[in-house]
Structure 1
Amino acid sequence: MTIRSRKHTLATQPLLNQSLLAMAAIGLPLSVQAQAQEKTMAEVKVEAAADVAYKVDRASSPKLTAPLVDTPQTISVIRKELIQEQGASSIVEALRNTPGITLQLGENGNTSAGDTFQMRGFAAQSSIFVDGIRDLGAVTREAFNIEQVEVAKGPAGADIGRGAAGGYINLVSKLPSREESTAASLAYTQGGVKRGTADVTRSFGSSGAFRLNAMVQDGSLKGSKALDRESKGFAPSIAWGLGTPTRLYLFSQHVRQDNVPDGGIPSVGVEGFYNAGSALRTAPRVERNNWYGIKGDYEKVDADLLTAKIEHELAPKTTLTNTTRWGKSKMDRILSGINTLSAPTADPATWTISRTRQSVLQENKILANTTNIVSEFTLGGLQHTLSTGLELLSEEQFSPSRLASSLGTAPAAKLYHPNPNDTLTGFNPVLSGAFTNGKTDTVGAYAFDTVKLNEQWQVNGGLRVERYKTSTDSATLNTTTNVLSGAHVEKSGNLASIKAGLLYKPTEDGSVYLAYANSKTPPGSANHSLAAQTAANANNPALKPQKTTNIELGTKWDVIQKQLALTAALYRTTNKDEFPQLVDAVTNTWAQLGERRVQGVELGAVGQITKAWSVTAGIATMDTEIKEGTTGNNAVGAATRWSPKVSATMWTTYKFDDKLTVGGGARYMGEQKRLIDPSQSAATTNMPAIPHYTVVDAMVSYKLNKNVALQLNLYNLFDKFYVNTLNNSGARATLGAPRYAQLTANFMF
């Protein structure tokens, strides 16, 4: 089976000429084209054995210049077939198939939006990419237009630039091929969620093709009757020149979400809850279906991506790819969050929890142009696969503020019986004039090379240099004088990141490697929001970039006739200069303290054990330690939260015949500590940790005929109660969904 990578592009001939000039300007060895004699690189292909539903041999990124078995880095690839078997509708659900990723909730009364998570102990929500280009915004990313999800772990500054302390996630879009097909699915989830998707590909002319992916979903969030979600997605794409030396693609994606926002529920009664009031301390849990918002709370998300690509064979083994993308996302939310518990009497009917009105209005934009040349050649008797490129990026985040008094006042909710129809007074939302507008412009150049020294030894290396400039314009409102005051802060600099690996191949299908990689995170990296120089936080422009390094010793093996990939790695990641401290107020001199180390082991298996038996599994350990600085909750030690010592995932299916497939899996998440200050007692601290849990899922699929298959998914088979996310104060939680079923009809023509 051949899986074509979606790295082909669309552009005009002038743009191609400009890209060639840009490549020449950074000294790329175009002369090596003449050395290519045999194999064409018309398409980057992933070769896999027939019916291997989970395993791929290569990632889509041209920066990864070797097959996965010869890549000295931990990389997981989650294919669309696995996503479909599990009935996953979002990227967060798909990421359950790789260990070491934990979800997050917001600070105290506030609530995070979109995909917010950590990877190997580091925040990773700003390290999400679509087809190799950074994707911004507070968006819950849908899976309907995803060919595969690629998860690269460990510092990856050479791959993607600033940030990426824990790695990055790349979403590969579905694009046209010459093979015509029509696929659709209709799903109904116990509780009322209805979802439909369509995937249609048609060819035209001698080398063209068109593809359309679409999605619509409506219904309450799994596990809650109040949290209604409405989503619509539309992703058209068109291609010319398929099967020719020059391939052109034009594609876009448009998503609209209209949701009831989730502020979480009080953690009262959950294992680990503590309150000084004796009545609350022994109080029972609230109902998981309770919603503490006010009718009229809303969350609306618009997300659009427009992409043009061209891929052109400069020579039989040299291919140029140019990608241009414009993207925009907007999130508008007004939410009644929850905060302080009150138990004035012994009667639980009188117990309440305060509501706080919150507003988030955020718009993200990106304009990017990337050019890459991949060439295979022999130089000095050594085989090279060289990837070089130039990236031009402009990213912007604009966040206007609403006048707090115009959001209205919400009465306290009854703890056990909240009323969404409670009267909201003074609600007339208007902009205050205050805002934050951050922008980062980046010019980056990179080169990666895999050098085969002989049949047993390879060297893999990469270097990226970039120039960035981050600027933040802001205005704050003095509510006493009703006067706005503005500020402008900016920081620019140069970053250089590297990766290097030495790889030994005992056999053709196995490797042992030792690798080093780093990344750098300058102030304002996550949201382009620099703070005033009096602020002791990581966004202070007076600070230098944080430095993250990683050493990894690993081995990879393709076994059972290359149908099953086995991986194992020992890693140690160190992050320095994490915590700023003012040392001289007169000269405004800052020192940067803090060294955090995360180390562990990660094991993986993906592919087929037999022709009928497929499996994907992984287990990861994380040992997080503060090597320099304090471990208090409000210092550098707070970064060690939400890092389970062990996490694991497994999914397997067995095909009894051409019609019946049975499968299932389990996810284990170890204890995630919230309390990391050794001076505080866990016995008298509210929710010192998220308790460990194991969740088991199951699936059965039956093919009625060649065109129709029915699929039944059972989630949380043993109805395990568990906390999914917890906020930093421990007062609010979101719970994992209880046991429920989803029935899907899949159509293929």
Structure 2
Amino acid sequence: MNRNNPARRVAQPAFLALSCVGAFATHPALAADGPDPTPANDDNDSDGQGRRDIIINGQRIRNAADPSGPKDVAPIVNTPKAIVVLSRDVIDQTGSASLQDALRTVPGITFGAAEGGNPIGDRPFIRGFDSQGSIYVDGVRDLSSQSREVFAIDSVQIVRGSDSTLGGRGSAGGTINIISKLPQLGNFGSATASYGNGDYKRITGDLNIQLLPNVAFRIEGLWHDQDVVDRNAIWSRRWGFAPSLTIGVGTSTRLTASYYYLESHELPDSGIPYLYVCTATNCNAPLGNSVTTPALGKITTITGATGVVDRSAFYGIADRDFRDTSTNQAMLRLEHDFGTLTLRNTARFTRNVQNYIYTQPDDTQGNVFGTRSANPTTNPAGSVYTGGLVWRRANTRYGYSTSIVDQTDLGGTFKTGGIEHSFAIGTEFAWEKTRRGTYVLATGSTATPRCNTSTIARYNCTSLFAPNPYDPWVNYVSDSSTVTAPVTKGAPNTETQNDAETQAVYAFDSITLIPQLIVNLGVRFDRFKSTTTLPFAAGAAAARLSKVDNLFNWQAGVVFKPTSETSVYASYATAATPPNSLLGEGREDNALPTTVTNQNLAILDALKVQKTKSYEVGAKASLFKEKLALGFAAFQTEINNARVQIDANTVGFLGRTRVRGLEFTASGQILPGWTVFGGYTYLDPKIIDAGNTALAVAANGPAVATTVYVTSVSNGRQVPQTAKNSFTMSSQFAVNKQFTIGGGAIFMDKQISGYADNRAATQTSAGVVTVTPATKVLTREIPSYWRFDANAAYSITQNVRLSVNAQNLTNKTYFSNTFTNHYATIAPGRTVFGTVEVKF
């Protein structure tokens, strides 16, 4: 595969304002896209550029089309949950070009890597819980594995805490809701062009046209092409467009039709492998408790050989590896106002395609550090054990996901006596399908050890210190064959299909008992049916496994308002994650079985819904005439019945994970011309019970080989892929009406990837099993880091603006994502780019 292959593309959606009992009210301090009104130096000028919003009781009604959704029943200050609204201004000022870039400005969100369905796509963790299946676009779940763009995004809304009442299945740690740019009254447009180091090139456009007094059309476009600074060979290219039309803008009846397309092609980054490995049969870690980090910098192998792994080291193969994705989304929304009530129906069709061959720098057999000081003298394959090598494991996938979702909502206000109600009720019907297969190629996966003379000669193994991404790799029929073969997709009978159906009803009510006391309530019931069609032998019939789960979730909160601009609150909420919730589009801890055996059928019958609950207390304030929003929250989120392995034939729902924490957030205007966005999050993430780990027991005479289960090494330890401390702050200062300067700081504490030990089990000839205690316990982690950014902008005229962004200003070497095993993703070096923006 090479960079000039025809493109396919990454997906980024558009969102119907999603809200958990008022979770997604508009943010109080940052301006929306749209035409700039006449400059005015009054207290409502939110950005120093003359854009004015109207503020009503803590909820800013923007001068453009109101993006609030049907489930918004209270403004943020009156909602008993921690909520962050990431505005378009912050996305632009920080130079974010992807959803991951944008979310890194929000404290308490970390990112994980993977190896299966979503190896390098968006995998955010909110409050320590994997939220890749809890991302929505315009109120509709956006399940598939993607790397989302920002060119058509108006804002991003993050609700923290168990949140299945709002969005349905999953949402243990919270939800992420992407709000799309949609038509507004008026004529306006903008175009940007950026260029920087790493051959960074980006062009975007946004055009809004008022066709008739109440009809408006809008279209956004994107073209993006770049290499990655300080990473050998890596590149990405994508393009997309998003047209939309609204009939009845500003009237009581509105019809909106929108379409979104994004196509992406890239050479995916495989990161850096960890130094040590530890299993019952192969543990090259030091004795006792030890920590391993990715093998970066000066590395000494088991033989004493020393070399340097540069931050640019890339272990993939440029002529083999690729990732092509595309997203098509079509949405139709009809709304009608009946006085104080609004009825809305939203229907959306989505199809995402993803194909990839992705090198994972694998160290499952100890190739990096090594396992022996000398190689065996007799081995026909010429085995290598002395370290300094990396197996180029190829993870592959081709497939697609489709969904049709229809949501109907009725919301508004009414009174019962002196009590005020702001309510929303609705239904959701969804049909989802995913289908996936793998490419057929030989990568040395059958060789033992993985790195030997043969696999090195075929470039399936490479040097830890000097990998060459342009090695002339060739595919063969098998690892032992000398016959070359093209890389092909697997046969249709080797593919796996997942189908799901959802029927849901929900209701929310914000009840104002007196002006100082508000009660928020929400309930939701989902019927979720999942069916897996398994791979089968050619000529045989496909087997299907199915599971139906009924999910009931609820939330309740009390808000006390000392003043109209402040509140304190307490809340409780639940979440439910049924088996096969991600339909194979990500890491599935509670998946349906993948083969049909009597044991797996018993496991299927035993599968249960994993349930999460959150407790939270907090306080909010909107200061300086609602220009600055402050928030504090203390919380505990826990899973008490996570799926764990009891033995080979039995799963139990006894696992426990608990995350406690504190959050402080600030966003808005501190002084005229000075804005901030960010905060601090502290987490105490602990695995209470992770179940058991399997140990293989070799045969001994008449005693046959077996398996025993021992307590997981993870028990009592920090939850992987979370950071105990995280801090982000972006700030902008207007020196005058033409010139602004700003910057950002991000601190991320160390993150744990996973744990391992060298416990082993043996048996006597009579079958008496003995478990040898661990002498080595290994923790994989990536170090903490500070990252600093800077930006400046100068308006040449009212319509022409020049800006420059410097990301990772100090050129810090750090790891942005980590996987449970094998590797961590290294971040780009200092990236500086300039942008010309023209408004019209």
- TM-score, normalised with respect to structure 1: 0.87
- Per-residue displacement from partner, 1:634-691 (whole Å, max 9, x unpaired)? 7677881122111110000100111100000100101112345699999966663111
Matched residue, 1:713: 805
Matched residue, 1:599: 660
> Is 1:52 the equivalent of 2:46?
yes
Matched residue, 1:740: 831
Q: Extract unaligned runs of 5+ from structure 2.
A: 1-13, 19-23, 30-42, 61-66, 277-290, 376-383, 446-457, 477-484, 585-590, 693-710, 760-772
Matched residue, 1:578: 642
Matched residue, 2:701: none
Q: 1:508: Cα distance to partner?
A: 0.5
- Per-residue displacement from partner, 1:360-387 (whole Å, max 9, x unpaired)? 1121111010011111111132100010
Instruction: Name the CA distance, whole Å, in 2 between partners of 1:384 and 1:501.
Output: 15
Output aligned runs, 1:274-423, within 5 Å.
Answer: 277-279=301-303, 283-314=307-338, 316-340=339-363, 341=367, 351-405=388-442, 410-419=459-468, 420-423=470-473
> Is 1:114 the equivalent of 2:178?
no
Summarize the Cα distance change of 1:636–1:441 in structure 2 as closer, same or farther, 3 Å threshold: farther
One-letter code of the match for 2:97?
A: S
User: Does the 8 Å CA contact 1:185/1:747 hold for their aligned counterparts?
Assistant: yes
Q: 1:172: Cα distance to partner?
A: 0.3
Q: 1:139: Cα distance to partner?
A: 1.2
Which of 128, 141, 149 is the aligned partner of 1:134? 141
Instruction: Name the CA distance, whole Å, in 2 between partners of 1:576 and 1:304.
Output: 38
Q: 1:541: Cα distance to partner?
A: 5.3
Summarize the Cα distance change of 1:612–1:485 in structure 2 as closer, same or farther, 3 Å threshold: same
Summarize the Cα distance change of 1:231–1:273 in structure 2 as closer, same or farther, 3 Å threshold: closer
Instruction: Name the CA distance, whole Å, in 2 between partners of 1:400 and 1:723.
Output: 30
Summarize the Cα distance change of 1:90–1:189 in structure 2 as closer, same or farther, 3 Å threshold: same
Q: 1:53: Cα distance to partner?
A: 5.0
Q: 1:352: Cα distance to partner?
A: 3.0
Q: 1:284: Cα distance to partner?
A: 2.6
> Is 1:699 the equivalent of 2:758?
no
Summarize the Cα distance change of 1:280–1:338 in structure 2 as closer, same or farther, 3 Å threshold: farther
User: Does the 8 Å CA contact 1:6/1:175 hold for their aligned counterparts?
Assistant: no
Output aligned runs, 1:502-513, within 5 Å.
Answer: 502-513=558-569
> Is 1:260 the equivalent of 2:310?
no
One-letter code of the match for 1:654?
A: F
Instruction: Name the CA distance, whole Å, in 1 between partners of 2:784 and 2:636.
Output: 24
Q: 1:96: Cα distance to partner?
A: 1.2
Summarize the Cα distance change of 1:743–1:196 in structure 2 as closer, same or farther, 3 Å threshold: same
- Per-residue displacement from partner, 1:334-392 (whole Å, max 9, x unpaired)? 23332243668899999432222331112111101001111111113210001000111
One-letter code of the match for 2:592?
A: L
Matched residue, 1:545: 609
User: Does the 8 Å CA contact 2:757/2:777 hold for their aligned counterparts?
Assistant: no
Matched residue, 2:706: none
Instruction: Name the CA distance, whole Å, in 1 between partners of 2:803 and 2:70.
Output: 36
Matched residue, 1:209: 216
Matched residue, 1:430: 489
Output aligned runs, 1:467-616, within 5 Å.
Answer: 467-476=527-536, 486-527=542-583, 530-531=592-593, 540=604, 542-582=606-646, 590-616=651-677
**Higher alpha-carbon deviation: 277-286 or 291-300:** 277-286
Summarize the Cα distance change of 1:608–1:236 in structure 2 as closer, same or farther, 3 Å threshold: same
- SS of the equivalent of 1:561 reads coil
Instruction: Name the CA distance, whole Å, in 2 between partners of 1:651 and 1:623.
Output: 25
Matched residue, 1:622: 683
> Is 1:441 the equivalent of 2:464?
no
One-letter code of the match for 2:684?
A: D
Instruction: Name the CA distance, whole Å, in 2 between partners of 1:145 and 1:290.
Output: 32
One-letter code of the match for 2:265?
A: D
Q: 1:45: Cα distance to partner?
A: 7.4
> Is 1:671 the equivalent of 2:750?
yes
- Per-residue displacement from partner, 1:569-589 (whole Å, max 9, x unpaired)? 000011021133457x9xx77
- SS of the equivalent of 1:453 reads strand
Instruction: Name the CA distance, whole Å, in 2 between partners of 1:535 and 1:262.
Output: 38
Matched residue, 1:13: none
Instruction: Name the CA distance, whole Å, in 2 between partners of 1:117 and 1:239.
Output: 33
Summarize the Cα distance change of 1:352–1:110 in structure 2 as closer, same or farther, 3 Å threshold: farther
- SS of the equivalent of 2:73 reads coil
- SS of the equivalent of 1:486 reads coil
One-letter code of the match for 2:519?
A: V
- SS of the equivalent of 1:83 reads helix
Summarize the Cα distance change of 1:232–1:596 in structure 2 as closer, same or farther, 3 Å threshold: same
Q: 1:615: Cα distance to partner?
A: 0.4
Instruction: Name the CA distance, whole Å, in 2 between partners of 1:110 and 1:156.
Output: 24
Instruction: Name the CA distance, whole Å, in 2 between partners of 1:439 and 1:383.
Output: 42
> Is 1:641 the equivalent of 2:705?
no
User: Does the 8 Å CA contact 1:581/1:593 hold for their aligned counterparts?
Assistant: no
**Higher alpha-carbon deviation: 534-543 or 196-205:** 534-543
Matched residue, 1:189: 196
Equivalent pairs counted in the alignment come to 702
**Higher alpha-carbon deviation: 362-371 or 293-302:** 293-302
User: Does the 8 Å CA contact 2:309/2:464 hold for their aligned counterparts?
Assistant: no
User: Does the 8 Å CA contact 1:268/1:286 hold for their aligned counterparts?
Assistant: no
- SS of the equivalent of 1:61 reads coil
User: Does the 8 Å CA contact 2:633/2:662 hold for their aligned counterparts?
Assistant: yes
Matched residue, 1:71: 79
One-letter code of the match for 1:746?
A: E
Which of 268, 293, 301 is the aligned partner of 1:272? 293
Summarize the Cα distance change of 1:230–1:633 in structure 2 as closer, same or farther, 3 Å threshold: farther
**Higher alpha-carbon deviation: 543-552 or 224-233:** 224-233
Matched residue, 1:83: 91
User: Does the 8 Å CA contact 1:176/1:209 hold for their aligned counterparts?
Assistant: yes
Instruction: Name the CA distance, whole Å, in 2 between partners of 1:725 and 1:281.
Output: 29
Q: 1:565: Cα distance to partner?
A: 0.5
Summarize the Cα distance change of 1:446–1:110 in structure 2 as closer, same or farther, 3 Å threshold: closer
Matched residue, 1:651: 730
Instruction: Name the CA distance, whole Å, in 1 between partners of 2:244 and 2:833.
Output: 30
Tell which structure's C-alpha radius of gyration is larger. Answer: 2
Summarize the Cα distance change of 1:290–1:467 in structure 2 as closer, same or farther, 3 Å threshold: closer
**Higher alpha-carbon deviation: 321-330 or 354-363:** 354-363
Summarize the Cα distance change of 1:641–1:177 in structure 2 as closer, same or farther, 3 Å threshold: same
Instruction: Name the CA distance, whole Å, in 2 between partners of 1:491 and 1:741.
Output: 51
Q: Extract unaligned runs of 5+ from structure 1.
A: 10-42
- TM-score, normalised with respect to structure 2: 0.78
**Higher alpha-carbon deviation: 398-407 or 553-562:** 398-407
User: Does the 8 Å CA contact 1:464/1:496 hold for their aligned counterparts?
Assistant: yes
Instruction: Name the CA distance, whole Å, in 2 between partners of 1:8 and 1:620.
Output: 25
Matched residue, 1:61: 69
Q: 1:722: Cα distance to partner?
A: 1.2
- SS of the equivalent of 1:278 reads coil
User: Does the 8 Å CA contact 2:646/2:652 hold for their aligned counterparts?
Assistant: yes
User: Does the 8 Å CA contact 1:53/1:81 hold for their aligned counterparts?
Assistant: no
- SS of the equivalent of 2:90 reads helix
**Higher alpha-carbon deviation: 429-438 or 115-124:** 429-438
What's the Cα RMSD here? 3.3
